[in-house]
Amino acid sequence: MYIVHTIQDIRKLVSVWKAEGLTIGFVPTMGYLHEGHAALLQQARQENDRVVLSIFVNPSQFGPQEDLDSYPRDIKADTKLASANGVDAMFVPTVDELYVDPKTSVHIQDLSATLCGVSRPIHFTGVCTVVTKLFNIINPDRAYFGEKDAQQLAIIRKLVVDLNIPVDIVGVPIVREPDGLARSSRNTYLSPDERKAATVLYKAILEGKRMVEAQRDASVLIAAMTHIIDEEPLARIDYISIVDQYTMQPVEQVEGAVLVAMAVYIGHTRLIDNFSYDPS
């Protein structure tokens, strides 16, 4: 496995592979890799001749009060997990390598204004900017994103259409802990009590999934899920919302394909979870 730190070197490597007619699967991450990331890598491994993983904690997607400085990092463990999952090249740039006095950003309207975009107003501009840059640097055939970050996935799908970026975007199902908590690098922030309390997100997801089969009124579904979260003293809801799967705009009735999404603080840690549902 190659470990590459510069744009020039990853470009050189990928261009050699492309000249040989090989396909490139790309998995962008912020590192501190876990089984969720491994699922993306495994799918990329199956569908492509070469797999490129990037590890970059992107400052431009963190707000001023967010956890950029404390975001967990362990490049040694990441290298091991990457190698065990068949990664061919790990691209690990520094902030200075990717951002040199930038004046340009990529902003997506409307889709970024709901759900996580409300409490994280600059987040998706940071994500869209760095993903566009990484696509331009790596030039992959396919790129893999987790359904755990479902709004991000919807945004990237729209981004590549709007900007004519020739990359197939592949969504990968949420990987969970045995008790249902969605795997996340941020789970490491949870104290043992908070870790127990965090299972309340999945309880609410299961109840939402069960109810939506017979109940199409979004406010009734949201109220039931809210009630479950409110029973957990360590939990504080940021949002629970039901939006159109493509536009990310709230719906009153579940008529087409929707995303049921939530962000919940457990102590100081903000966790997200979701499920998709299509009545047809």
Which candidate in 37, 123, 227, 268 is catalytic? 37
Closest CA to 188 of 53, 62, 33: 33
Element (H, E) at 55: strand 50-55
40 binds ligand AMP (CB under 6 A): yes
Nearer Cβ to ligand AMP, position 32 or 277? 32
Nearer Cβ to ligand AMP, position 128 or 218? 128
Under rule CB under 6 A, which residues in 44-83 are in contact with ligand AMP? none
37 has catalytic annotation:
yes
Buried b (16+ CB within 10 A) or exposed e, 170-200: bbbebbbbeeebbbbbbbebbeeebbebbeb
CB of 16: closest distance to ligand AMP in angstroms? 26
Please give the Cα distance from 67 to 228 (Å, whole number). 27
Binding mask 100-119 for ligand AMP (x = CB under 6 A): --------------------
Nearer Cβ to ligand AMP, position 39 or 87? 39
- DSSP alpha helices (H): ranges in 57-212? 75-84, 95-98, 116-119, 123-138, 150-162, 192-197, 200-212
| Contacting residue, 29, 151, 187, 241, with ligand AMP by CB under 6 A | 29
25 binds ligand AMP (CB under 6 A): no
8 A C-beta contact, residue 132 and residue 141: no
41 binds ligand AMP (CB under 6 A): no
* Burial class, 101, CB count within 10 angstroms (exposed 0-12 / middle 13-18 / buried 19+): exposed
| Contacting residue, 10, 24, 30, 92, with ligand AMP by CB under 6 A | 30
Quick one: which segment of 10-18, 78-86, 108-116, 170-178 binds ligand AMP (CB under 6 A)?
170-178
CB of 143: closest distance to ligand AMP in angstroms? 9
158 binds ligand AMP (CB under 6 A): no
Please give the Cα distance from 155 to 128 (Å, whole number). 8
172 binds ligand AMP (CB under 6 A): yes
175 binds ligand AMP (CB under 6 A): yes
- DSSP alpha helices (H): ranges in the chain? 7-19, 35-47, 75-84, 95-98, 116-119, 123-138, 150-162, 192-197, 200-212, 218-230
Residue 3 three-state SS:
strand
Quick one: which segment of 32-40, 65-73, 234-242, 271-279 binds ligand AMP (CB under 6 A)?
32-40
Please give the Cα distance from 193 to 276 (Å, whole number). 29
Under rule CB under 6 A, which residues in 184-203 are in contact with ligand AMP? 184-185
39 binds ligand AMP (CB under 6 A): yes
CB of 199: closest distance to ligand AMP in angstroms? 14
8 A C-beta contact, residue 180 and residue 199: yes
CB of 4: closest distance to ligand AMP in angstroms? 18
The values of phi and psi at residue 154, to 5°, are -60, -40
Annotated catalytic residues are 37
**Which residues contact ligand AMP by CB under 6 A?**
29-30, 36-37, 39-40, 145-146, 148-149, 172, 174-175, 182-185
